[in-house]
Amino acid sequence: MSEPTLAYVIGTRPNFVKMAPLIAAMRARFPALRHSLIHTGQHYDELMSGIFLDELGVPPPDHMLGVGSGSHGAQCAAVIRAIDPILAAEQPRLIFVPGDVNSTLAAALAARQRGVAIVHIESGLRSFDRSMPEEINRIVVDRLSEVLVVHSDEAIDNLRAEGVAEGRILFAGNTMIDTLRALEQRFRSRRTHASLGLDAGRYLLVTLHRPALVDGPLLAAAVEALASVAERIPVLFPAHPRTRKAIESLGGAGRLRLTEPVGYLDFLSLQSDAAAVLTDSGGIQEESSCLGVPCFTLRDNTERPVTVRLGSNTLLGLDPRRIEQIPQLIETTPRRAAEIPGWDGRAAPRIVEAIAARCGL
Ligand code: UD1
Ligand code: UDP
């Protein structure tokens, strides 16, 4: 009999950051097993995918599904159709799926129907806002998964409240912070702000990509508010392609410095040297807490309340008018790195050992 296969699914920018340390740790711990890396292709631009695999040292995927963009239904259907024969042929012993994106939901559905045990990384997060596609994805993936790897107390509470058995929950910490710590020397010395003519501690870094803001009337108001902030402090906005297209259709960004998305090392360099971050990203709420950079989240809720409770995150609400208060808020918000249990750079090795014991590898 050949050695068992372990499969790993990646598809979007945050997935690469969350999975890189886990894939490396599993391969190092189990060199004799087969490791099958499946990239769905949900993100495909070089600046949304290729640059991350290179910078994070992710090995070349064994399977590139190339599903590309589309509606939720089209994207999930394409992933299921493409991954199903791979699962049938490889019959993995376990499949690791991260976060809450469409690729994750679709891979989990396909795996479950093939009888493959699922390990869900970043389980238990809840915004309690079912208008977000990610909330539906998280709930379903948690239902389908065998091992629920969580990174905060709130996630454990959420799973318990949904009646999940204790034995399925694994508190191991935050693999996204493993990546941050592993690359810290490289991004700290990078000084990306200087190459853009910005002064350390004297610019606002912005990312916004959620449909609730970008795909509706609020975006124009947000761009206008940011343009007014830009008269007081430089505003750097490396825009997700979804956002860039929407801003271009509004007729431009005025004084904002709108750029292409940047790679992980440049983004972490820019983040660590910023006066503050304005975002609706999940991952950036987490990273900024560890970097001690004030984070203002333009949403009504967060599935990461630990970043508000212990970290540097302030929920502004989904109200573009609040953006104009950011220069004053920067003055009054302390710059303090958070110590969040399990966000210590060693989550992946803990997951590996726990999985080895639980799954008899
Ligand atoms: C997805 C996730 C979101 C996550 C985000 C990370 C879902 C439901 N959403 O949102 O949770 O926070 O990824 O960045 O899975 N596009 C490009 N090039 C690319 C990728 C996308 O131009 O490489 C453009 C396309 O016009 C596409 C749009 O961005 O239609 C949206 O892409 P999609 O993957 O559907 O969702 P995201 O907004 O990226
Ligand atoms: N990121 C990056 N370049 C950018 C914007 C974000 O490298 O231009 C990184 C960021 O540091 C974090 C991850 O991408 O590690 C977050 O991805 P995103 O905000 O797209 O998704 P979310 O976390 O909201 O699901």
In one letter, which amino acid is 296?
F
Residue with tokens 């967060």: 302
Secondary structure letter of residue 123 according to DSSP = -
**What is the model's pTM?**
0.98
Catalytic positions are 209
Computed on alpha carbons and rounded to an integer, the radius of gyration of the chain in Å comes to 20
pLDDT (tens digit, 0 to 9) for every residue of the chain, 361 residues total? 578 999 999 999 999 999 999 999 999 999 999 999 999 999 999 999 999 999 999 999 999 999 999 999 999 999 999 999 999 999 999 999 999 999 999 999 999 999 999 999 999 999 999 999 999 999 999 999 999 999 999 999 999 999 999 999 999 999 999 999 999 999 999 999 999 999 999 999 999 999 999 999 999 999 999 999 999 999 999 999 999 999 998 887 778 999 999 999 999 999 999 999 999 999 999 999 999 999 999 999 999 999 999 999 999 999 999 999 999 999 999 999 999 999 999 999 999 999 999 988 8
Residue 354 in contact with residue 22, Cβ under 8 Å?
A: no
d(CA 176, CA 98): 11
| Ligand 1 atom having least distance to the Cα of 14 | 6
Q: Which residues line ligand 1 (CB under 6 A)?
A: 12-14, 42-45, 48, 69, 100-102, 133-134, 209, 240-242
The C-alpha atoms of residue 232 and residue 227 are separated, in whole angstroms, by: 9
> Is the distance from CB of 51 to CB of 263 less than 8 angstroms?
yes
* Three-state secondary structure call for residue 34: strand
Q: How far apart are CA 281 and CA 298, in angstroms?
A: 9
What are 201-214's pLDDT values in tens digits? 999 999 999 999 99
Q: How far is the CA of 12 from the centre of ligand 2 (A)?
A: 9
Q: Closest residue (by CA) to atom 26 of ligand 1?
A: 242
